[in-house]
Amino acid sequence: MKLKTTKFEFLLELIAFVIMAASLAYMIMMEESLPQQIVTHYNAQGVADQWGSRSELYKVPLLGMIIYTFATVLQRFPKRWNVGISPEHKNAEKAYRYTKDMIIVLKTEIVIFFAYFGICTANQQPPVSFFLPSVLIITFGTIIVYMMKVALAKKEGLSPEARMEQKRKWLP
């Protein structure tokens, strides 16, 4: 199944690319002003608990780019996604579109999270205390919203008889 790129998807891809490039450029500009040893990790209280060389500054954006690239490759092969709907289903394209949108939204969120964390590292400042809970809530919230959209698309494409059969499976 070939899904065309929508304006929404193109815009999110563009935003993610610009944020990746801008955060990397910022880190390159900041590198010379950093001491030889920099803080590379903060504990839950925001206290530095790990140090490393300035070159470790690039681990954060590199990891973000690796995850972004993996997700980009994944989104190119919709037949590999476990959407729970056969390609012949009435609303299969809708379900696959939602899944592709979810991947692109998650990619953009991940880029934003890694850019923020990289900039914090370049500034030698701990991230805000609610950073990790925010990342988890936003990421899992996105997954839940799009999974619900896929489930509704699957349900909408069923005939009334198939819906009744599905309900009977769940009733005691």
pLDDT tens per residue across span 30-77? 888 888 888 888 887 878 888 988 888 888 889 999 999 999 999 888
Q: What is this structure's pTM?
A: 0.83
42 phi and psi, to 5 degrees? -125, 145
**Percentage of residues of the chain with pLDDT beyond 90:** 40
Residue 142 has pLDDT above 90, yes or no: yes
Judged against a pLDDT cut of 80, whether residue 168 lies above it is answered with no
In this model, does residue 172 exceed pLDDT 70?
no
Structure tokens that stand for 23 in this block: 């955060």
The SS3 call for residue 38 is strand
pLDDT over 70 (residue 110) = yes
What one-character-per-residue DSSP string does 94-137 give? HHHHHHHHHHHHHHHHHHHHHHHHHHHHHTT-PPPTTHHHHHHH
Residues 2 and 168: their CA atoms lie apart, in Å, by 35
